[in-house]
């Protein structure tokens, strides 16, 4: 892959446990392979516990906590999925504020699988078109978003670019779109 993200720092926001490992590691590898810097942000310091669906997988060190950092320290945000991860995040005020700060700053955000639950809680999808894991469809609609069943959706109708995908099978399209859109942050 070409080095399209050189000079760009991307925050990956995850809860202390419950993130779907492949939805964290594959976009992370893509950011680094294209010259970007990836940073793990969570609601607690230490390490996070990732999962392969319902089974514990690897742990990863946290670089910063949501109560000690903000959008000003990053150029873009990735929200990995997993069922538990966004459910924990949407119940944490500092995590919700962290996500909302990227929209307020006009910085690009990419969310996959169940991650739009956190976007719903941050009240940032009204009038936007996005996708997610199908079980999140009603929540997206109730929050004023338009849900579509597509591999990847890039919505530029709001204050920032929002990239969404449905599931791990969509990661190649998700990763290609986040690189293309994040690269525009320094263009």
Decide if 4 is inside a domain. no
Instruction: Enumerate residues 6+ apart whose C-beta is below 8 A from 44.
Output: 16, 62, 65
Q: CA 77 to CA 161: how far, in whole Å?
A: 11
Q: CA 28 to CA 36: how far, in whole Å?
A: 9
Decide if 109 is inside a domain. yes
Instruction: Provide the pLDDT for residue 2.
Output: 57
Decide if 2 is inside a domain. no
What's the mean pLDDT in 61-80?
Answer: 98
Domain residues for the domain of 82 are 9-186
Instruction: Provide the pLDDT for residue 80.
Output: 98
What six digits make up the tokens of 4?
Answer: 């399209």
Residues 35-59 have pLDDT tens digits of 999 999 999 999 999 999 999 999 9
Decide if 134 is inside a domain. yes
Residues 15-29 have pLDDT tens digits of 999 999 999 999 999
3-state secondary structure of 132: coil
* Residue 90 confidence class, pLDDT cut points 50, 70, 90: very high
pTM listed for this prediction = 0.97
What six digits make up the tokens of 100?
Answer: 């909302």
How many domains, the chain?
A: 1
What are the residue numbers of the active site? 113
- At 69, which CATH number? 3.40.50.880
């Amino acid at each position: 892959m070409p080095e399209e993200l050189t000079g760009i720092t991307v925050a990956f926001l995850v809860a202390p446990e419950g993130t779907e490992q492949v939805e964290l590691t594959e976009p992370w590898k893509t950011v680094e392979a294209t010259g970007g810097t990836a940073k793990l942000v969570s609601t607690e310091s230490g390490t996070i516990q990732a999962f392969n669906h319902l089974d514990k997988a690897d742990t990863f060190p946290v670089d910063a906590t949501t109560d000690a950092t903000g959008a000003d320290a990053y150029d873009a945000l990735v929200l990995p999925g997993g069922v538990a991860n966004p459910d924990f995040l949407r119940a944490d005020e500092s995590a919700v504020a962290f996500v909302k700060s990227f929209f307020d700053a006009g910085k690009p955000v990419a969310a996959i699988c169940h991650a739009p639950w956190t976007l719903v809680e941050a009240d940032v999808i009204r009038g936007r078109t996005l996708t997610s894991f199908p079980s999140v469809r009603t929540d997206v609609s109730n929050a004023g978003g338009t849900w579509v069943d597509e591999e990847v959706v890039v919505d530029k109708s709001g204050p920032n670019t929002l990239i969404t995908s449905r599931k791990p099978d969509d990661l190649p399209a998700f990763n290609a779109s986040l690189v293309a859109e994040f690269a525009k942050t320094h263009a």
